[in-house]
Chains A and B, each alone.
Chain A
Amino acid sequence: MTTTTPPTTAAQQFALRRHSPLQRVQHLLHAHPAISPFLVLVISFVVFSTLNPRFASPNSLSLVLQQVAVIGALAVGQTLIILTAGIDLSVGAVAILAMMLAAKLAEGQGLPGALAIALAIAVGAAAGALNGALVTRLKLPPFIVTLGTLSVFTALGLLYSEGQSVQATDLPAVLSWTGESFPVGRFRITVGVVAVVLLYLAVGFALAKTAWGRHVYAVGDDKEAARLAGIRVDRVLLSVYVVAGAIYGITAWILIGRAGAASPNAITDANLESITAVVIGGTSLFGGRGAVLGTLLGALIVGFFRSGLSLAGVDDQYRVLAVGLLVILAVAVDQWIRKVRS
């Protein structure tokens, strides 16, 4: 009964056909989605350094890294949530709330710096847990949940801080330590930039090398299939929101160092900018597809456009325009890649 037929049918021969160059590109991008943002990054680097050689100088590139750090860190959490087919509009609001709570307590009550940082991370995780609980228990769409908590957290941050900033000089030194810089060759790297790199490495490892990472992808890919495969979907979703929240708490610390103050009015567009970085980085808004490496590239691309176009003497609105086009292009490429078949 075990007769195996050799591949001789027309359909099997068709399956063995040579692929067109375009199909091969599609397959390549499907297997390695980070290629397209990487190409965009390289091309923009070449173009901008041709337009103004100062763009490629260590000084200017160091500045880009520092500018990108805050959104880049928030985008790590955003990537996790988008991988589960969710979206987080409350990113910036959570970071601000965590930052203002920590800063006010460290300033007024004299809370030690390390405790203030731990508090910021805990507040971020708690805010994430609230988002996650609303998504998993009440079964509300993440867009609506985080649209609501965006307002709630923003208002709480402003009310608690009474709209007042806290200068870094009034805070324990460790809170603004992330702004300290040190030379690496001819570059100047801040502690905050190092923290962001560590965040990417840690989350990248968790996503690619652990069962939790697999489950995040599976839940984002097909929730019902994940459930039938024995994955506790709600638990995975909740953990993603909590981890993302904790990352926003860490970002609060990076933000104090970067801005030299804890201001409740900082990073107002953080949600859209972090989503932009994630999408340009090739992570699919439909979930289950993408990686933090792409997000890092996406955040750098936005940073390159900002710095490159301003050094080229172009109105900043052209950056806004170009980034908008990139977002649409990235999603179009994602849709195209999804159609791949062997």
Chain B
Amino acid sequence: MTATTTHTPAGRSGAADSGQRSPVLSARGLVKTFGKVVGLDGVDLDLYPGEVLAVIGDNGAGKSTLIKCLTGALAPDAGELFLEGKPAQFKRPQDARDAGIETVYQTLAVAPALDIASNLFLGREKRRRGVLGSVFRMLDQKGMRREAAQALADLGIGTLQNVAQAVETLSGGQRQAVSVARAAAFGSKVIVLDEPTAALGVKESNQVLRMIEEVRSRGLPVILISHNMPHVFEVADRIHIQRLGRCAGVVTPASHTMPEAVAIMTGATTLEETPGRTAG
């Protein structure tokens, strides 16, 4: 147990813009093992307000395990989580969601046959006011459609005009947009995106990257897991590099080049050997 570890945010401030602000979400000494396989071997992570923190790493580096521990899909064996400085424990994905952490899964948790508005509100539908809502449990369809249209417009998705359209009639990028919009509409503290551009083409990927920037501009921090270095370097403020279950370092697009980050990620070099340009 690393119970005595202090959780001040000053620990790892390699980033230029982290300054003196306190992190929204931080993890200290996360350990997760699967039998003899070590998924996470004491990982620290800090997410600051209004930043996009990318998490990169080779297959098996512990990216997914790390994210699952942060979002309640897995319970870490050891280590602590702090949400806005307060200790947090997520036993189920729903716990993290209730705490304000919204996750967009790689498998896109959408119901294809339901329309866009229904998908945005899936699992937290709004009911009509008065007797219609309380006794007859009637949904406020109009209200949900209006808010869904607003949520999409807020993210600059003009192409999805009709929120009464079934999700299965949408392209991959549009479905991704619905998932991100859903997270952005309900995530009050943190948004986690797991490989949001993995299945998308160039144009659709750009749309999702613009949405990430839009979410950030509202002050909502984003954790972005991605394999795609150009995408990471385009939108990330800081980059958390996972390697063999540990954090091999946190760099920024200003301090390191793409090849340098990849070299650290694959173990060809280390952060000590390649400190990068000191930003600021």
Contacts and interface: CB of A to CB of B under 8 A. Distances in A.
A289 B111 contact: no
Contact of B111 (A209, A211, A222): A222
Given A214-B122, A221-B114, A341 B169 contact: yes
Nearest to A342: B169
B237 to A, nearest CB: 15
A222 B170 CA distance: 16
Interface in B161-214: 165-166, 168-170, 210, 213
A210 B166 contact: no
B139 interface: yes
Interface string B98-140: 0000000101111111100011001111010000000011110
A162 interface: no
Contacts of B111: 217-218, 221-222, 225-226, 229, 288
A76 B85 CA distance: 52
A119 to B, nearest CB: 27
Query: Main SS of the interface on chain B?
Result: loop
> Which range holds the interface residue count of chain A?
20 to 34
A230 B97 CA distance: 9
A210 B114 contact: no
B169 A340 contact: yes
A224 B113 contact: no
Contacts of B107: 224-225, 228
A212 B137 contact: yes
B174 to A, nearest CB: 9
A164 B169 CA distance: 55
Contacts of A289: 113
Interface in B145-164: 156, 158
B97 to A, nearest CB: 6
B253 interface: no
Nearest to A287: B113
Contacts of A229: 109-111, 119, 122-123
Given A215-B123, A342-B170, 5 more contacts: A30-B169, A205-B136, A226-B123, A229-B122, A342-B169
18 contacts: A209-B137, A209-B138, A209-B139, A209-B141, A210-B137, A214-B122, A214-B125, A218-B111, A218-B122, A222-B111, A224-B109, A225-B107, A225-B109, A225-B111, A227-B109, A229-B110, A230-B93, A340-B168
Identify the 10 closest CB pairs spanning chains A and B, nearest first.
Answer: A228-B109, A230-B123, A342-B169, A211-B125, A218-B111, A221-B111, A225-B109, A229-B122, A210-B137, A229-B123
